[in-house]
């Protein structure tokens, strides 16, 4: 098994689909990073418009 090391200074980021602000990878998302679309629970609940439903 390969171990992926993610260094603190080199964490991936991507923009929140709701507020468009970039957010940073978090450990709790390590398994679902590809599915994370929102920077916070507030954005997840308060999403506006018709962004894709997962």
Interface residue with Zn ion among 3, 32, 36, 43 (CB under 5 A) is 43
Per-residue CA distances from 20 to 15, 31, 39 (Å): 5, 22, 9
| Cβ neighbours of residue 16 closer than 8 Å, sequence gap 6 or more | 22, 23, 37, 38, 39, 40, 43
We find the least distance from the C-beta atom of residue 43 to Zn ion, in angstroms, to be: 3
We find the least distance from the C-beta atom of residue 17 to Zn ion, in angstroms, to be: 8
Instruction: Determine, following the binding rule CB under 5 A, whether residue 37 of this chain makes contact with Zn ion.
Output: no
| Stated length of the chain | 54
Interface residue with Zn ion among 16, 37, 44, 47 (CB under 5 A) is 16
**Site size for Zn ion, by CB under 5 A?**
5
């Amino acid at each position: 098994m390969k171990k992926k090391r993610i260094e603190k200074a080199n964490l991936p980021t991507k923009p929140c689909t709701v507020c468009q602000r970039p957010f940073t990878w978090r450990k709790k998302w390590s398994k679902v990073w590809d599915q994370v679309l929102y920077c916070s629970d507030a954005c997840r609940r308060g999403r506006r418009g018709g962004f894709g439903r997962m």
